[in-house]
Amino acid sequence: MMQSYTIGIDIGGTNTVMGLIRNGEIIEKFSLLTSEHKRHTDLIHAMYEMLLPTINSIGKHNFRGIGIGIPDANAETGNVEYAVNLNWDGIIPFAGDAESVFQLPVKIINDAKAAALGEMHYGAGRDLNHFIMITLGTGVGAGVVINREILLGYESKAATLGHTIIYPNGRFHPGSGLYGSLEMYCSAQGVVLTAIEKLNKGLPSLLDNYTTEELSPKIISECAHKGDKIAIETLHDTAITLGKAMANFAHFSSPQAFILFGGLAGAKDFLIDKAKEEMESNLLKAFKGEINILVSTLPDNDAAILGAASLLLN
Amino acid sequence: MMQSYTIGIDIGGTNTVMGLIRNGEIIEKFSLLTSEHKRHTDLIHAMYEMLLPTINSIGKHNFRGIGIGIPDANAETGNVEYAVNLNWDGIIPFAGDAESVFQLPVKIINDAKAAALGEMHYGAGRDLNHFIMITLGTGVGAGVVINREILLGYESKAATLGHTIIYPNGRFHPGSGLYGSLEMYCSAQGVVLTAIEKLNKGLPSLLDNYTTEELSPKIISECAHKGDKIAIETLHDTAITLGKAMANFAHFSSPQAFILFGGLAGAKDFLIDKAKEEMESNLLKAFKGEINILVSTLPDNDAAILGAASLLLN
């Protein structure tokens, strides 16, 4: 048996993207909307239906298995536990249920940890021993790499960095019940909230052309590039929060670099440079000028898909 | 050659304590004042003079070497780098200079990491795979254990948790140049500052019987146990800061427990219980009720001395 194929899947709060992988390359991609599926078993069946023709045409015996990156995954047990940004409550036996449906080995890991593994094997982390990946999306996720190993910790709950508190008694996070966590400022929702707070002060802005529901990091970035003051200030505030958080994280694991991923990660002028400046001003002397901020070089969800699939390599 | 002896040394901002060790037990202890020695070479010579009669009587060939726990140590290079709470500036080749004087192998590691190693091998961390040691002393130090290995990170600078920011734009730390770091609230000086802020509001307190210079965590703890309101509030504020910090640290490395060490760690009623309560309220659901707060069971500096000496076991 060759078993030269794997399937890598990235399940986010909004989209689920699946990749057919051979020799570390994504040959074909499939996607569906996560949020359209109320129960996790509905999502698993929808993935199965979409992938079945491909699995059958290649032959199931040629597949090593399926690696899935998914929020709040416990890599040890295969369960998804108390997911903050998904529809499902409590402890969900996701890997076990997926194995039953697919009849293939399934390994799961937190989506951001999957992305960090992808960057480590195939992306911006190839030459780094120590780095922290931060994904700026629906939520703020993270994967911490130490000596080229992903940090899991007890019950594989490590690196839930989006839920660290940056501003005590700050914004309330309805999903986690916590106040002032990084995610409430640097997730898509967090950035939009910052913009709305500024717009509510009544100053004119290009952002006035959009409804609250339409506002997104993408639109805010676009308006910032058109010179809109409120949009620029929004990104600057976001950068300052991110920079403070990165300094704290740097003092914890001493990374050589941060690798940022997500829509915001592309906003170099307004976000990355400012975040680096703020990080530097909150670092001990021994750390200053030593830590790079890199932007993921892998397109779309490829890091998470490839990283999740890499779980099957061991 | 038996080489059954090691020397373990704990160098703190105030005291230096040395232990003669055989079979994981401290047979004899020696101590001197760190701060009395302006240059690091003065301290090394003072240590040498104090230990020489013992080394000679046992025979140098019976020693495996010397392990030293010291703030801001780089375990890879043997240098002490930009120490915040010591007299020395810049990069100091401490292990190399000590080897030259003692003519024995010398390994160094950050003092709190040494204490964590000591707890892991001989103390409260014996049965734990993942824990975080926090030392509450002249400074706030930390050692992070993951899968029974001490976290070092790039240039062995990891776990400088005392310098993470808990209150943005909070108290200024003259040693680090940072604002609002944990150390400015939970070190000896930080706790005293909190008490002084409260005393300055003019309410009567048992602490009024002491000068600002006399105030210490020990005196504040004693007054708290006598029911003094200002002293109790001071410990509660300290606990709240520590609890917030522990929640952030827990979300980073997912420890099974925190192990606290230092004068304050004994103040269970006023500090530990309150810190645990605050930690819990800042934890994600998946972490709640799962993390123990333990107090070091090894007396005095034994954890750091034994942990530093354990560096010679490899």
Residue range A200-213, pLDDT digits in tens = 998 899 999 999 99
**How many Å lie between the alpha carbon of A167 and the closest alpha carbon of chain B?**
7
Neighbours of A172 (CB within 10 A): 12
Residue B1 has pLDDT above 60, yes or no: no
pLDDT of residue A2: 63
Amino acid identity of residue A165, one-letter, is I
Query: What residues of B are in the A interface, CB distance below 8 Å?
Result: 72, 81-82, 84, 129-130, 144, 146, 151-161, 163-168, 176-178, 244, 247-249, 251-256, 282, 284-287, 290
What's the average model confidence in pLDDT over B7-29? 94
- Mean pLDDT over all residues of chain B? 94
pLDDT in tens, B122-171: 999 999 999 999 999 888 999 999 999 999 999 999 999 999 999 999 99
Residue B87 binned pLDDT confidence (cut-offs 50, 70, 90)? confident
B112 contacts on A by Cβ (under 8 Å): none
pLDDT of residue A167: 98
Chain A residue numbers touching B129 (CB-CB < 8 A): 154
Residues in A whose CB is inside 8 Å of some CB of B read: 72, 81-82, 84, 129-130, 144, 146, 151-161, 163-168, 176-178, 244, 247-249, 251-256, 282, 284-287, 290
Comparing CB atoms, the residue among B81, B154, B286 nearest residue A81 is B286
Please state, in angstroms and rounded to a whole number, the distance separating the CA atoms of residues A37 and B301. Answer: 57
A64: CB partners within 8 A, 6+ apart: A3, A4, A5, A6, A105, A312
Average pLDDT over residues B264-274: 84
What is residue A31's three-state secondary structure? strand
Q: Report CB contact under 8 Å: A144, B84.
A: no
Does the distance separating the beta carbons of A176 and B286 come in below 8 Å? no
CB contact under 8 A, B253 and A256: no
Q: Which carries the bigger pLDDT value, residue B175 or residue A115?
A: A115
Residues of chain B in contact with residue A133, where contact means CB-CB under 8 angstroms, are none
Average pLDDT of chain A is 94
- Residues of chain A in contact with residue B157, where contact means CB-CB under 8 angstroms, are 254, 286-287
State the nearest Cα–Cα gap between A176 and chain B, in angstroms.
6
Separation between Cα atoms, residue B87 and residue B12, nearest integer Å: 11
- Find the residue in A nearest to B162 (Cα): A251
* Nearest beta carbon to residue B153 from set A157, A161, A253: A253
What per-residue confidence (pLDDT) applies to A305? 97
Q: Answer yes or no: do A161 and B84 touch at CB < 8 A.
A: no
Q: Regarding predicted confidence, which is higher, A302 or B83?
A: A302
The confidence score (pLDDT) of residue B314 equals 67
CB-based burial label for A86 (10 Å; 0-12, 13-18, 19+): buried
Say whether pLDDT at A1 is over 60.
no
Q: Which two tokens stand for residue A108?
A: 């799961």
Q: How confident is the model at residue B299 (pLDDT cuts 50, 70, 90)?
A: confident
Q: What is the ipTM of this complex?
A: 0.92
What is the count of residue pairs from A and B with beta carbons less than 8 Å apart?
122
**B31-58 pLDDT, tens digit each:** 999 989 999 999 999 999 999 999 999 9
More confident residue, A216 or B86: A216
pTM of the model: 0.93
Q: How confident is the model at residue B262 (pLDDT cuts 50, 70, 90)?
A: confident
Q: CB-CB: which of A130, A156, A285 is closest to B153?
A: A130
Say yes or no to pLDDT of A266 above 80: no
* Residue B89 in this model has a pLDDT that exceeds 90: no
Tell me: pLDDT of A199 over 60: yes
Whole-number Å distance between alpha carbons of B38 and B45: 12
Residue that the structure tokens 């005291």 belong to: B15
Q: Is A252:B158 a contact under the CB 8 Å cutoff?
A: yes
Are A284 and B252 a contacting pair at CB < 8 A?
A: no
Cα gap A33→B44, rounded to integer Å:
65
* Residues of chain A found within 8 Å of residue B166, distances taken between Cβ atoms: 168
Show residues of chain B in contact with A110, CB under 8 Å. Answer: none
Q: Which of B134, B161, B164 to mutate to test the interface with A (most CBs of A within 10 A)?
A: B164
A310, exposed or middle or buried, with CB in 10 Å at 0-12, 13-18, 19+? Answer: buried
The three-class DSSP label of residue A41 is: helix
Place of tokens 């689920």: A16
Tokens at A14, concatenated: 């909004």
Q: Do A254 and B286 lie within an 8 Å CB cutoff?
A: no
List the single range of A116-120, A268-272, B29-33, B214-218 with lowest mean pLDDT: A268-272
Kindly determine whether residue A254 and residue B82, on different chains, have CB atoms separated by under 8 Å: no
Closest partner CB to A253 (pick from B151, B244, B254): B151
Confidence class for position B263, pLDDT limits 50, 70, 90: confident
- DSSP letter, residue A68: E
Closest CB to A252 among B72, B81, B159: B159
Q: In this complex, do B163 and A286 lie within 8 Å of one another by their Cβ atoms?
A: no
* Mutation site for B-interface testing, chosen from A140, A176, A185, A254 by largest number of B Cβ within 10 Å: A254
Nearest CA in chain A to B173: A284
Interface mutation target, options B89, B284, B287, B291, chain A, most CBs of A under 10 Å? B284
* Band of pLDDT at residue B180, cut at 50, 70 and 90: very high
Buried b (16+ CB within 10 A) or exposed e, B156-179: bbbbbbbbbbbbbebbebebbebb
- Does the distance separating the beta carbons of B155 and A254 come in below 8 Å? yes
C-alpha distance from A196 to closest chain B C-alpha (Å): 23
Position A13 confidence tier, pLDDT thresholds 50, 70, 90: confident
Q: Which residue has the higher pLDDT, A151 or B301?
A: A151
The reported pLDDT for the residue numbered B3 is 80
Nearest chain A residue (CA) to B256: A154
Q: What's the mean pLDDT in B247-251?
A: 98
Starting from the edge strand earliest in sequence, which strands make up the sheet with B292-295, in order? B149-150, B140-146, B131-136, B257-261, B292-295
Determine what percent of chain A is predicted with pLDDT higher than 70. Answer: 99
Please determine, for residue B9, whether its predicted confidence score (pLDDT) is greater than 90: yes
Residues of chain A in contact with residue B282, where contact means CB-CB under 8 angstroms, are: 165, 178
